[in-house]
Amino acid sequence: MSAPTGGGALITVPVELGDRSYDVVVGPGARHRLAQMVGPGVRQAVVVTQPALVDQAARLDAGVPTEILTLPDGEVAKTPDTVAELCRSFARRRLARSDLVVAVGGGVVTDVAGFAAAVYHRGTGYVNVATTLLAQVDAAIGGKTGVNLAEGKNLMGAFWQPVGVLCDTDLLATLAPREWACGRGEMAKYAFLSGSRPDASILDLALAEQVARCVRIKAEVVAADEREGDRRAVLNYGHTLGHALEGMALDGGDLRHGEAVAIGLVFAALLARRLGRIDDERVELHRRVVAGFGLSADLPPGADPEVVVAYMARDKKAHHDLTFVLDGPTGVEPVPGVDPADVLATLAEMSTLEATA
């Protein structure tokens, strides 16, 4: 699938959280709104980014003196040690609690810089300038920050809302195809979170409108359930299998987050049908949306169902039993206590469908 294009005016989506409310600005050139998000008490800003984005970060105008700090590329940056080093760097620069951290990058940068901002001086303001599709539609919005431990992904973190988020679609022009796929898996998820009668209309929108639609849905969910007590769990649709496949990929494979979520969405649809929650037409809609974003719904070669279930049981989103977020008559919702036999049968069904395709 080629990258959709189209200019147009900037779209502002509010995230309504009382005194922690903020705006997400979407569209071409949105990064140039940074200075407007810098409050009157800010004396300086620290920009956190990665080596490949330093030139882009240096051209940002925050309206106050800034200094750039870089993180290592990739998931290796998501560690407690990285956060501690960032906080030490903030302290050496005499960053005050009233100053600002600006995260320029994808989900790794927004997760790490946001967590550092959350714990430095027990909470320092930050702005996310999201440079990947995945970050623009998901990771940069909602205040979930965190890093990985040896025992699992994102097990150390905090809910700390940004001052604002800038989703400049111009920055996506140079994304590699796999990075587009990573974001489109999350975009496919949002097609099923807008009510009990989802459709494939998101496929027909221009890029900025696609991003804005995803942001609006996430903003509504976050406003209703900021700390993932209940409603926010729907944002994990497709993620229980997706995270399991990612975890297995870390052991030698090469599956990106959005690609794994796309497979997880179709798996969740098949599982929901097995449990009598949805019909064949709804399953086909899942396949159509995933395929419409140019993504595969096939399990990776050699994915052993027993091993996959073991990984799913370890996922923090699965709680202490096999809990899945599944489609149903009233829309997507968490379903606890799913029988492992149904999960294994659904994985076997996927394998059989692949073999006969």
Catalytic residue status for 213: no
- Helix%, strand%, coil% for the chain, nearest 5: 50, 15, 35
Assess contact for 297 and 233: CB atoms under 8 A.
no
Report CA torsion sign: 166, 167, 168, 174: positive
- Say which of 31, 189, 216, 243 is annotated catalytic: 243
Cα–Cα distance between 20 and 2 in angstroms, integer? 37
Task: Give the CA dihedral 81, 83, 87, 92, nearest 10 degrees.
Answer: 60
- Say which of 31, 33, 144, 286 is annotated catalytic: 144
Cα distance between the two ends of the chain:
21
- Say which of 33, 78, 184, 239 is annotated catalytic: 239
Assess contact for 25 and 165: CB atoms under 8 A.
yes
Neighbouring-strand partners of residue 128: 103, 165
Strand spans (E) along 17-119: 22-27, 45-49, 66-70, 100-105
User: Pairing mode, if any, of strands 125-130 and 100-105?
Assistant: parallel
Amino acid present at 157: G
Give the Cβ contact number of residue 179 at 10 Å. 18
Amino acid present at 136: Q
Chain mean position to CA 351: 27
CA 177 to each of CA 180, 192, 210, 295: distance values in angstroms, whole numbers, following the listed order: 5, 24, 17, 11
- Say which of 186, 226, 246, 259 is annotated catalytic: 186
Catalytic residue status for 243: yes
- Say which of 218, 256, 277, 317 is annotated catalytic: 218
- Say which of 216, 257, 286, 317 is annotated catalytic: 257
Helix axes 107-119, 80-92, angle to 10 degrees: 60
- Say which of 59, 94, 122, 197 is annotated catalytic: 122
Catalytic residue status for 218: yes
CA 251 to each of CA 92, 127, 347: distance values in angstroms, whole numbers, following the listed order: 38, 34, 20
- Say which of 153, 189, 232, 317 is annotated catalytic: 232
Catalytic residue status for 236: yes
| Secondary structure letter of residue 95 according to DSSP | -
Catalytic residue status for 287: no
Catalytic residue status for 320: no
- Say which of 236, 259, 277, 317 is annotated catalytic: 236
Assess contact for 60 and 46: CB atoms under 8 A.
no
Catalytic residue status for 232: yes
Catalytic residue status for 20: no
- Say which of 228, 287, 288, 349 is annotated catalytic: 228
- Both structure tokens of 208: 């900025």
Catalytic residue status for 121: no
**What residues are annotated to the active site?**
122, 144, 186, 218, 228, 232, 236, 239, 243, 257
